[in-house]
Amino acid sequence: MHMNQSQLEELPARIHLVGIGGAGMSGSARILAQQGRKVSGFDRVSSDFLAGLRALGVKITIGEENRGPLPKDVELVVRSAAVPMSDPDCAAAEQRGIPVWKYAKLLRYLAPAGRTLAVAGTHGKTSVSWLLTYALRGIEHALGTKAPRRGFLIGGSCQKLGVNSAEPQPGGWFALEACEYDRSFHQFNSTGAIITNVEADHLDYYGSLDAIEIAFARFADRVDRDGLLVVGSNVPERVYSECRAPVWKMGRELHYRLLGEDRGCFAIQVHGPGWSTPPLQLALPGVFQVENAALAIALAVGRVAREWKLDRSVAGAAAAREVERFSGAVRRFERWGSVEEIEVVHDYAHHPTEVRVTMEAARRAFPGKALHVLFQPHQYSRTAHFLDEFATSFLGVERVVVSEVYGARKHIDKMGAGSEDLCRGLQRLGIESAAPGDLSASLKNTARHLPDHAALFVLGAGDVDTIRDDLFRELALRSAKASATRI
């Protein structure tokens, strides 16, 4: 007889994940497999996150046409937020009396008590989580062999490491990207946390900025009393005013000093209560990455160094050395390559603020180049909520191609604005734009209108990252045609 959801006190040995191709789900699968559990999963389409999981013994089925019945030995089914309970695996589990959890509940079992450092915020969670992971590695190096290895579960893979999760050694710290959607970041307690910023987003779920701020305040209140909460400069006081843990606020307890800039990458020095880092050179373009790095270093110094009785300035220097080494997460200002004088960069930006700061970083990183964008909006409701803001976020861009909206969470997302609506908004602002249709048509339209000396940014959080090879084939074909014309 299967135990119901409320009766499970620890994770069973046999777990099945529906929507395993997603960032959090695939990362969780890796950790579960590293723990020695038997893991399987299903997804409608493949993803880069699945690379390496099969080598760990995870059995993965891709595509409805390949889907069989739910394995008989499954003891727990976990579904992503994008998967409804009507999914065949979830329905079969429910019929058998097998617990079916949302991914958020699984986090409660993966986040080690007293060792979880959670990163929340409307923007920057993935980058800050990786910066924190690198800062933790720096402190481990300063401590030597006595420091257990850290673990992490992050919403995007590291470009260098190629993975987005790892199980910590016993006693090791655990860096966790904590998403606010579906209030999943209320499912666990943390001993230290970062809130990068708080803005209106996920309004299809929350309905208002007021509800979002209340949710973040509850997240802050779940930080252990003897822990530390580090908050960015754009976090309202109501979010952290009732926090039981000490709070370090950017611009109050925390400060940074800009020391220089090299093609959009800044040299900085970070100062906190009783400590400071030596000068460090960030490898990440964008002025917004300055605060991201400062927040990550601060939590590592303020919480981890105290736990291991390491001098804060020594810890700050060690953390800074490793933060300098972080060159970015996949899909975050990820340089795809170039064709002759055309540079191509991909970024996950799918909120107006993210688009705006990415475009600002692009101008610094590629001075003198014409800036073109291929943008895939993410969800009809988000596009509708922020239609005017999206349009203004592209000011200064020479041309924008808007592909069809990627309709994630279709079972709950109500129809809103589409690509043509955004295209009209851009044109009203005097920005040249087009809405040719699907990704294939959009990439061809983009390539056809690129000038010879340009920076092309491919933006979006959906499946726009899958066009890389087709885009470069189109750019190569364009280049060949131009060469033939010159001959």
- Is residue 313 located within the same domain as residue 345? no
pLDDT class of 4 with cuts at 50, 70, 90: very low
Write down which residue in 323, 346, 377 finishes a domain: 323
Q: What are phi and psi of 238, to 5 degrees?
A: -60, -20
Residue 167: name the closest of 143, 179, 149, 147 by CA: 149
% of the chain at pLDDT higher than 90: 73
Enter the pTM of the model.
Answer: 0.86
CATH label of the domain that carries residue 224: 3.40.1190.10
Task: Taking residues 323-335, report their average pLDDT.
Answer: 91
450 found inside a domain:
yes
- pLDDT(100) > 70: yes
Number of H helices, E strands in the chain: 16, 22
Distance CA 70, CA 246 (A): 47
Distance CA 89, CA 110 (A): 22
- Is residue 349 located within the same domain as residue 383? yes
- Is residue 22 located within the same domain as residue 99? yes
CATH label of the domain that carries residue 31: 3.40.50.720
- Is residue 85 located within the same domain as residue 184? no
- Is residue 313 located within the same domain as residue 377? no
**How many domains does the structure of the chain reveal?**
3
- Is residue 278 located within the same domain as residue 202? yes
Write down which residue in 275, 303, 323 finishes a domain: 323
**Average pLDDT of every residue of the chain:** 90
pLDDT digits (tens, 9 = 90+) for 347-392: 989 989 999 989 999 999 999 999 999 999 998 988 998 899 999 9
Range in 4-8, 226-230, 270-274, 424-428 the model is least confident about = 4-8
pLDDT class of 484 with cuts at 50, 70, 90: low
pLDDT digits (tens, 9 = 90+) for 25-46: 999 999 999 999 999 999 988 8
133 found inside a domain:
yes
Task: Taking residues 75-93, report their average pLDDT.
Answer: 94
- Is residue 185 located within the same domain as residue 87? no
- Is residue 22 located within the same domain as residue 150? no
486 found inside a domain:
no
392 found inside a domain:
yes
- pLDDT(236) > 60: yes
pLDDT class of 232 with cuts at 50, 70, 90: very high
Q: What local confidence, expressed as pLDDT, does residue 309 receive?
A: 87
262 found inside a domain:
yes
Write down which residue in 301, 323, 345 finishes a domain: 323
Phi-psi region of 95 (alpha: psi -120 to 50; beta: other; left: phi over 0): alpha
What are 298's two structure tokens? Answer: 């601060």
Q: What local confidence, expressed as pLDDT, does residue 412 receive?
A: 47
306 found inside a domain:
yes
401 contacts 436 by C-beta, under 8 angstroms: yes
Task: Taking residues 311-325, report their average pLDDT.
Answer: 95
Q: What local confidence, expressed as pLDDT, does residue 7 receive?
A: 46
SS3 assignment, position 87? coil
- Is residue 431 located within the same domain as residue 405? yes
- pLDDT(2) > 50: no
Strand order through the sheet with 399-403: 334-339, 342-347, 454-459, 370-375, 399-403, 432-437
The amino acid that residue 59 corresponds to is K
Range of the domain at 79: 11-104
pLDDT digits (tens, 9 = 90+) for 66-80: 999 999 999 999 999
356 found inside a domain:
yes
- Is residue 154 located within the same domain as residue 294? yes
pLDDT digits (tens, 9 = 90+) for 451-483: 989 999 999 988 899 999 999 999 988 866 665
- Contacts for 480-486 with beta carbons within 8 Å, 24 or more apart? 482/452
Q: What local confidence, expressed as pLDDT, does residue 450 receive?
A: 94
HEC assignment per residue over 190-240: EEEEEEEECCCCCHHHHCCHHHHHHHHHHHHHCEEEEEEEEEEEECCHHHH
Buried-exposed string 147-180: b where 16+ CB fall within 10 A, e elsewhere: beebbbbbbbbbbeeebbbbbbeeebbbbbbbbb
Residue 23: name the closest of 80, 86, 95, 83 by CA: 80
